[in-house]
Amino acid sequence: MLVKICGIRTIEAGLTAASMGADLVGFVFAESKRQVSVAEAVRIRKQLPPQVKGVGVFVNTPISTVNQIAREVKLDYVQLHGEETVASCLASDFPVIKALSIQTEEDLKKVNMFLPVVDYLLIDGPIAGSGQVFDWKLLDSIPHARKKMILAGGLTPSNVQEAINQVDPIGVDVSSGVETNGVKDNQKIEQFIKKAKGVR
């Protein structure tokens, strides 16, 4: 089970995630309370062990800028979390995680559109970063996407095992679910990773 801890803003949080077995850590470059500068991301990235993959989160950023930042930070993946097109994904110099918000059956059409051209699909709730869970049953109709599906949206140490058992994704992603008062909480990071990895 791949585990991505997103919204990393300090070396301490990055190292905690790494030491507990996180596979990916996310740096948010989009406007957000978890936003980091390129310089901050470079500093944190340098401290992380090589087996932990760095992911840059972008929202509607020109793909040339995405490629430039990814090179500078030495990212392994870019996560496109806006209204990016298939063409944008294909123009990335780096492996792409395309984030899709799922609220209705209609939204699932986007899954089939992006599935062939990206490395992973991050399936999120209606409002990214809100910590809101969406109806996981919606994903029953796209079993073919599970081999590329990273589940996000309102996951916490207390519901991540239920989510994995119900959805059967290849990975899970968490940000606010491992925070206390908006700050990454080492204990919650540890609990989340242990529970996610313990399912299978």
Q: What is the mean pLDDT of the chain?
A: 94
| For residue 130, pLDDT beyond 90 | no
pLDDT at position 106 is 85
CATH assignment of the domain containing 147: 3.20.20.70
CA distance 140 to 127: 21
Q: Which residue segment(s) compose the domain that 67 sits in?
A: 2-198
pLDDT at position 133 is 83
pTM beyond 0.85: yes
Q: How many separate domains does the chain show? A: 1
pLDDT at position 129 is 60
- 138-169 tens-digit pLDDT: 899 899 999 999 999 999 999 999 999 999 99
Q: Any idea which residue has 């062990």 for tokens?
A: 49
Task: Give the tokens for residue 30.
Answer: 């989009």
pLDDT at position 134 is 84
Query: Of 93, 95, 121, nearest to 108 (Cα)?
Result: 121
- 15-36 tens-digit pLDDT: 999 999 999 999 999 999 999 9
Average pLDDT over residues 184-188: 96
| Torsion sign (Cα): 122, 174, 30, 55 | negative
